[in-house]
Chain A
Amino acid sequence: MTNEIEQIPVALTVNGEKVSKLIEPRLSLVDFLRNELELTGSHIGCEHGVCGACTVRVNGEIVRGCLMLAVQANGGEVETIEGASDSGKIDDLQKAFHERNALQCGFCTPGMLMTTTELLATNPDPSREEIREYLSGNYCRCTGYEAIVDAIETVAQERKGA
């Protein structure tokens, strides 16, 4: 037995760039992004959809990169932390996280930021309880969450005032 696995072609847009690759069907989206495209900002924490470290945006929706196969994103649009960061549209979030020290080791942070963009897009004025509830799919072992909640609250208020 040699375990040879047939590779299939995928073509998609990642952070605005068109990419096409030949991949194994079993490849998860996050493995594809990290290993094939070297977009290492999306992290792998559990590989079973619990911790949220691999959160990315696919066709406008945030998803767990470990629960979706790369082939399922074929023809779609994917945004990762690298794209979101370079675009400048999360500058205020990054600044608030930095100033409030809403990250320590930073491993959960890209997923946390991706989830937060979705939260503030759907609920621009969340209460602390709503923020905490929304972040329940993103684990952080370092901060204890309070600083993250503070940073998000700050950005929501700033955006409201802007």
Chain B
Amino acid sequence: MPDTKSMIKDHVLDRPNSYIGRSVPRPNAKRLLAGRGTFTDDVKLPRLTHVAFLRSTYAHAEIVSIDVSEAKESEGVVAVVTGPEMAEVCSPWVGVLTHLEGLKSAPQHALAVKKASWQGEPVVAVVANTRAQAEDAIELIDIEWKELPVVADMETALDPETPLIHPELGDNLAWQRDLDAGDVDTAFANADHVIEETYISNRHTGVCLETRGIVADYNPGEDQLTIYHSTQAPHMMQSLFAKHLNIEEHKVRVICKDVGGSYGIKVHSYPDEYATVALAYMLKRPVKFIADRLESFTSDIHARDHRVKTKVAVSNEGEIQAFEIDDLTGIGPYSVYPRTSGIEANQVVNLTGGQYTNPNYRARAQVVLQNKSPMCQYRAVGHPILTLITEGMVDDAARKIGMDPLEIRRKNLVPDDAYPTTAPSGLPFENLSHHASLYKLVEMMDYDGLRKDQAEAREQGIYRGIGLATFIEVTNPGPAFYGVGGAPISAQDGATMRLDAKGNVIVEIGVTEQGQGAEAVVAQCAATALGVSMDKIKVIAGDTDITPYGGGTWGSRAAGIGGEAAVQAGKALRQNIVEVAGIMLQCDPSTLDIRENNVVDLADGNERMALAEVGRVCYYRPDTLPKDYQSELVVTRHYVPKQFPFAFTNGVQGCYLEVDTNTGFITFKKYVVVEDCGTVINPLLVDEQVRGGVIQGLGGALYEECLYSDEGQFLNGTMADYLVPMAAEMPDVEVGHVESPTLDSELGAKGAGEAGTGGAPAVVMNALNDALEPLGGKVTIQPFTPERILQAIGKI
């Protein structure tokens, strides 16, 4: 493993009193514990109005006529706006990117024009003095609908007899990608064994506890839009709102305060949010939209609706010789703007089997339109599916030849000393540690001991199973993810650092806090690089008027990219400070350093001058400095990964569970994750990202499913009907680390936010199938509900 520290002189990890690698609690969490956060619904402005939306009750229907006359007269109503009126202010969009060649979608409006294409699509906006009054008025709107045939089932979406959702597109195929690497046909022809299977991941969604929300205000006096938004990407939203309202970008300010969960759900642009901003612009006063829970279920993006046919070739000796997959995914009626709904399938094609040495790989992904809520990127985008099928195929192969699942992985995983290498899809991997991670996992979970326990339990009629799932994960995305395709999403991020007159430091950062600890990590990096204690640092994020232009927080990029920007800004500010201190102290700046809020002698750490004194002189008494010298106590530095398109990470999950073969209920006996996210900046926060990610992944694996009728009606749109993990059922998760820093940055940190989610469904499925094997049962359809488990063993 490369030794990052030895490779770079004056390395940030070598600083005295470094915060890197320390479990520092998040400074910004205290206000949340006191109930003093500011979530979007907490924002109250003078003359505030509230919007509610009449949403389509049909999955697919033409709007024949709309009568809003009675609604306009209702108590407290300020405005009632329909699709055509909205379209005069807010232009439509098409969710495509040029690097997903051939991806097509139809123009989408903030409010439906002519027809609605999913149940939940916003159709009419009512603005009133209270939300209740707006909802009252919605009851008075009379819409005549003409129902259209519904395309609900993705399996038949491309059949010739299936009606077209958007006839102008010519078919219901949004995108198709084919990949053929190595010599797949020969490998299958010569294989000792070929195993075919079909794996299904059912559609689920993020269920942020804070629903989507936005408060927009327009001040015509300064032609200024100010938008408080629960979002992950303020600058992206600034760009999009400006574009579609035809306003200059600098006239749009997006402020993102506390965000009550996002997980990818809040990184997209939504029709109701454009509509809210447009309404504020039209009415010249503030408008608030807070989705209720039913609106969230039917208008937040959904994800992970995939049917994948798999085929794996394996030799008698356990060598995996080929993977072939055929992925079908239904994305709703539109590709979501601006990131598109092709990325999830693209990840499946790019990364399936990527941790294994096998070079023979064929993949097809078909992305089809349907009349259900739009699908797009949700935490661990594509990884839960691709890990499920990869690790499902590997277990299929192992089972076929009677090899232990651990052994087949050891035999086929890319060796740790083979890097850098490339996946069969061509994506480059810098530095992964599958074997080291697997070794550590086996130790942590006591694999051999569990096998023994499993055998003993079976003798007593108790069915326990061990699951393993190795994974790779995309983090720290560069411009290859979105920018190259034309999306207004910054790949780089910046940090501005300012030493104030009292020796305190303000850090303005482009990445945003979503609760994962971005601000804490940025403060740790800034404090370490500069040489100050964390209590001297204040981090400001989430305001497009203030922070450097940046991409925000998604794709596990905040720590790796935002952290590195803070490191570089801290180093640059340190340089500027020791330069002016050298003048004051009449010594060579290269003999000085900053440690614990003081300028010190580099050699022995002797204190020379407090930072507060540097600040005092530079701001209040610059007359005491040379006339030809200007101090600079504000610096900005940016960072974007340049050597690799993504900083891939890896890890492995292992679990041991027991199945009650009478009820289909499962109990976790052990759950272990070993993760390699490069440099661990804050072990406490990283471990909690992994744990939270695992539990979110277990939600999809065990409970969560957006159920639809054949008519495209959402059937379980309440939190009582759509189940998410609760405290009682969830396991404790042991987390271990292997650290392979990326050499693309000085910090060496890769992302950690999605690894838990990506691997959870696979490890549960493999453990379940290990448990059910003696009963001849096998589950392949996620979520693995008690009903499906009992069906698999023929009990029902």
Contact = CB atoms under 8 A, between A and B. Distances in A.
Interface residues of B, number: 64
Interface string A28-56: 00000010001111111111101101000
A144 interface: yes
Interface string A105-116: 111111001000
Contacts of A1: 70, 73-74, 140
Interface string A73-87: 000000011100110
B25 A2 contact: no
B403 interface: no
A3 B719 contact: no
Contacts of B260: 43, 105-107
Contacts of A143: 688, 691-692, 695
A45 B724 CA distance: 13
Contact of B514 (A2, A4, A85, A105): A105
A26 B208 contact: no
A99 B210 CA distance: 24
Contact of A40 (B33, B42, B132): B42
Interface string B510-523: 00001111000000
Contact of B132 (A24, A139, A144): A24
Given A4-B75, A99-B25, A113 B515 contact: no
A94 B33 contact: yes
Contact of B35 (A26, A44, A80): A80
B35 A42 contact: yes
Interface stretch (B52-60, B413-421, B445-453, B726-734): B726-734
A106 B718 contact: no
Interface string B660-687: 0000000000000000000000001100
B210 A3 contact: no
B10 interface: no
A148 interface: yes
Contacts of A26: 132
Contacts of B30: 94, 98
Contacts of B132: 24, 26
B719 A48 contact: yes
Given A43-B260, A80-B35, A146 B691 contact: yes
A3 B35 contact: no
Contacts of A82: 34-36
Nearest to B37: A106
B32 A103 contact: yes
A106 B33 CA distance: 7
A50 B35 contact: no
B209 A136 contact: no
Interface string B64-84: 000000100111100000000
Interface string A128-150: 11011101101111111111110
A106 B75 contact: no
A104 B207 CA distance: 15
A131 to B, nearest CB: 8
Nearest to B30: A98
Given A94-B30, A105-B210, A148 B727 contact: yes
Contacts of A97: 29, 33
Contact of A85 (B33, B133, B137, B693): B33
A3 B133 contact: yes
Contacts of B140: 1
Interface in B474-516: 514-516
B616 interface: no
Contact of B34 (A2, A94, A138, A147): A94
B718 A46 contact: yes
A105 B258 contact: yes
Interface string B689-706: 001111110000000000
A77 to B, nearest CB: 18
B727 A103 contact: no
Given A24-B132, A105-B261, A149-B727, A3 B34 contact: no
B21 to A, nearest CB: 16
B515 A104 contact: yes
Interface in B187-206: 206
Interface residues of A, number: 60
Contact of B292 (A3, A47, A135): A47
- Main secondary structure on A side of the interface with B: loop
A147 B25 contact: no
Nearest to B137: A3
A77 B516 CA distance: 36
B39 interface: yes
A20 interface: no
Contacts of B691: 143-144, 146-147
A103 B727 CA distance: 14
A142 B35 contact: no
A141 B34 contact: no
Contact of A132 (B34, B692, B727): B727
Interface string B425-451: 000000000000000000000000000
B251 interface: no
A79 to B, nearest CB: 11
B62 interface: no
B515 A142 contact: yes
A129 B732 CA distance: 11
Contacts of A147: 688, 691
Contact of B41 (A44, A144, A146): A44
B26 interface: yes
A123 interface: no
B601 interface: no
A130 to B, nearest CB: 10
Given A24-B132, A146-B732, A138 B727 contact: yes
B720 interface: yes
Contacts of A3: 74-76, 133, 136-137
A107 B292 contact: no
A72 interface: no
A132 B377 CA distance: 31
B35 A110 contact: yes
A7 interface: no
Contacts of A4: 75
A101 interface: yes
B263 interface: yes
A75 to B, nearest CB: 24
A101 to B, nearest CB: 5
B210 A85 contact: no
Contact of A103 (B206, B207, B515, B696): B515
A48 B297 CA distance: 14
B695 A144 contact: yes
B166 interface: no
Nearest to B26: A101
Contacts of A86: 34
Contact of A141 (B41, B73, B696): B696
A51 B25 contact: no
A113 B349 CA distance: 44
B719 A105 contact: no
B786 interface: no
Given A98-B29, A101-B29, A85 B209 contact: no
A107 B719 contact: no
Contacts of A42: 35
| 4 interchain residue pairs of minimum CB distance | A41-B35, A106-B32, A144-B695, A107-B260
15 contacts: A2-B73, A41-B34, A43-B39, A48-B720, A94-B34, A98-B25, A98-B30, A105-B32, A106-B258, A107-B39, A129-B728, A136-B727, A141-B209, A141-B696, A147-B688
Interface of A: 1-5, 24, 26, 34, 38-48, 50-51, 53, 80-82, 85-86, 94, 97-99, 101, 103-110, 113, 128-129, 131-133, 135-136, 138-149
Given A46-B718, A105-B209, A107-B258, 6 more contacts: A3-B137, A41-B35, A85-B35, A98-B29, A104-B692, A105-B258
